[in-house]
């Protein structure tokens, strides 16, 4: 293979693509603006606490993320969520209610009223959508009722996308839900058929996982395996068409000629990078909305928190009118996250629901988060450890029209053979999704070289 491929962006998408290209024997180089690899994935350690600046964990939801960890020799470093990880709480009426795990729990839970529960049994008899594209909110309300939207899907959407379900596009955000309705006419019937289908069985261990040393272990291991193919401190300013290939212009006037290029930067960064190449594609990328997030990491003495913290954490429904989106109970999920006798909670605020939180001072954000958290878990005194991280452009929003925008984007770049876009603004925001998408694109490129 004589062709050279450049990957721009050293987040998990770019690292995953570059790694797979390297394993396939492709001549690949990765340019990353920062000296370190990982992008939003970054782990901090201080005072006996281990905390994350970005993603706290990921699901072992596909074979690519699972095999990647094994190939990198991270199996002894990887840790799956504790027994508490399957238990999740939702805030309703100023208190936390555990999401039901089985049918008996569903009948007993106070999270939904009797009418809300009965409405769920109507779902298999609800007709198919005939009104075209739907938002997540419209779809869920139509199929399983408003109460399930408010106290099941809405908190989940806030936790994963920090988004507004009334604006998020169903087919882009939850394509599997749309597929279940289209293929089976019912979410419940489709889910049951899928659960009992032999072709869906896998030996892959299920659940969330992180690493003993935090999520940075993954990105650092990939960067190490890439060796000098990873070019940290290389800021790409512009990409131009150069004959059959591309010219990459770096800060400091350095240039690099490559045959193909994969751009994995955030969409708004790519918009500037390719403006001279395709103004229409640039405009489409710049129009993708991102939700802001402030992460507030808190440490308390165990006895100063009255709730047993016996779960993954809590998600707060929008109906609660709180600043707090949710809280992960880090020290309950994984060992080594807090000193002996202490607990750690990773809290989130902002999002599409509370964008104005980013205009507030750190002290104001902290006060609002602790006040809301106190109402749900019961806190005595002030936290003994605090770290606050702001991400003004955190999570891309797959709002209504997202699918059409991606189609137009593909058409706008159709003439630029060998130019590939990759990232969480396209399809899938989780770490596992990004790893899978990066590997799939890399394999496609390898086969065509």
Among the listed residues 229, 216, 263, the one whose alpha carbon sits nearest the alpha carbon of residue 23: 229
Compute the average pLDDT of residues 224-237: 97
Compute the average pLDDT of residues 372-378: 98
Q: What is the predicted pLDDT for the residue at 100? A: 94
pLDDT score of 197 more than 80? no
pLDDT score of 203 more than 90? no
Compute the average pLDDT of residues 405-425: 97
Compute the average pLDDT of residues 94-109: 92
Compute the average pLDDT of residues 416-423: 97
| Residue 263 bridge partners (DSSP) | 8, 421
Q: What is the predicted pLDDT for the residue at 301? A: 97
Average pLDDT, the chain: 95
Q: What is the predicted pLDDT for the residue at 448? A: 86
Q: Per-residue confidence at 353, pLDDT binned at 50, 70, 90? A: very high
Q: What is the predicted pLDDT for the residue at 312? A: 96
What does the DSSP assignment read for 15-67? HHHHHHHHHTT-EEEEEESSSSSBTT--EEEETTEEEESS---EE--SHHHHH
Residue 273, helix vs strand vs coil:
helix
pLDDT score of 198 more than 70? no
Q: pLDDT digit string (tens) for 245-304?
A: 999 999 987 999 999 999 999 999 999 999 999 999 999 999 999 999 999 999 999 999
Distance in angstroms (rounded) separating the CA atoms of residues 231 and 379: 46
Would you say the C-alpha torsion 152, 158, 164, 170 has a positive or negative sign? negative
Poorest-confidence range of 2-6, 10-14, 94-98, 344-348? Answer: 2-6
pLDDT score of 196 more than 90? no
Distances (CA, A) of 304 to 69, 101, 311, 343: 37, 29, 17, 9
Burial class (CB in 10 A: 0-12, 13-18, 19+), 108: exposed
pLDDT score of 135 more than 90? yes
Q: What is the predicted pLDDT for the residue at 201? A: 67
Q: What is the predicted pLDDT for the residue at 77? A: 97
Alpha helix stretches (DSSP H) within 207-308: 216-226, 267-273, 279-286
Residue 140, helix vs strand vs coil:
helix
pLDDT score of 1 more than 60? no
Alpha helix stretches (DSSP H) within 109-226: 114-121, 136-144, 146-148, 154-160, 170-173, 175-184, 187-195, 216-226
Q: Per-residue confidence at 199, pLDDT binned at 50, 70, 90? A: low
Q: What is the predicted pLDDT for the residue at 253? A: 79
Q: What is the predicted pLDDT for the residue at 240? A: 94
Q: Per-residue confidence at 69, pLDDT binned at 50, 70, 90? A: very high
């Amino acid at each position: 293979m004589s062709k050279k491929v450049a990957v721009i962006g050293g987040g998990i998408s770019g690292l995953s693509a570059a790694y797979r290209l390297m394993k396939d024997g492709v001549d690949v180089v990765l340019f990353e603006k920062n000296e370190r690899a990982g992008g939003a994935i970054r782990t901090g350690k201080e005072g006996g606490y281990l905390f994350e600046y970005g993603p706290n964990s990921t699901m072992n939801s596909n074979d690519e993320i699972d095999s990647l960890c094994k190939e990198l020799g991270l199996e002894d470093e990887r840790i799956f969520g504790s027994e508490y990880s399957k238990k999740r709480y939702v805030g309703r009426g100023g208190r936390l209610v555990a999401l039901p795990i089985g049918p008996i729990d569903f009948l007993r839970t106070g999270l939904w009223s009797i009418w809300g529960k009965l409405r769920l049994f109507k779902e298999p008899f609800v007709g198919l959508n005939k009104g075209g594209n739907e938002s997540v909110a419209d779809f869920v309300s139509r199929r399983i009722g408003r109460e399930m939207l408010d106290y099941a899907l809405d908190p989940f959407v806030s936790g994963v996308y920090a988004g507004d379900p009334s604006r998020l596009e169903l087919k882009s955000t939850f394509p599997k839900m749309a597929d279940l309705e289209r293929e089976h006419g019912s979410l419940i019937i489709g889910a049951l058929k899928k659960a009992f289908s032999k072709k869906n069985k896998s030996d892959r261990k299920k659940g969330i996982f992180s690493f003993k040393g935090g999520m940075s272990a993954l990105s650092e291991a990939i960067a190490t395996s890439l060796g000098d193919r990873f070019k940290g401190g290389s800021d790409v300013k512009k990409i131009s068409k150069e004959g059959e290939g591309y010219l990459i212009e770096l800060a400091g006037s350095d240039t690099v000629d490559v045959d193909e290029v994969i751009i994995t930067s955030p969409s708004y960064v790519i918009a500037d990078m390719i403006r001279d190449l395709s103004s229409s594609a640039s405009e489409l990328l710049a129009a993708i909305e991102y939700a802001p997030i402030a992460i507030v990491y808190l440490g308390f003495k165990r006895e100063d928190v009255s709730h047993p913290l016996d779960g993954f954490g809590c998600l707060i429904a929008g109906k609660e009118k709180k600043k707090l989106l949710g809280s992960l109970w880090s020290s309950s999920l994984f060992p080594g996250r807090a000193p002996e006798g202490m607990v750690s909670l990773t809290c989130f605020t902002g999002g599409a629901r509370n964008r104005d939180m980013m205009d507030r001072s750190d002290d104001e954000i902290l006060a609002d988060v602790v006040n809301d958290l106190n109402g749900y878990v019961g806190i005595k005194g002030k936290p003994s450890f605090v770290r606050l991280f702001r991400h003004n452009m955190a999570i891309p929003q797959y709002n209504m029209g997202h699918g059409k925008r991606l189609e137009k984007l593909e058409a706008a770049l159709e003439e630029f053979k060998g130019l590939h876009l990759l990232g969480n603004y396209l399809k899938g925001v989780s770490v596992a999704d990004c790893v899978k998408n990066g590997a799939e694109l890399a394999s496609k490129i390898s086969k065509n070289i």
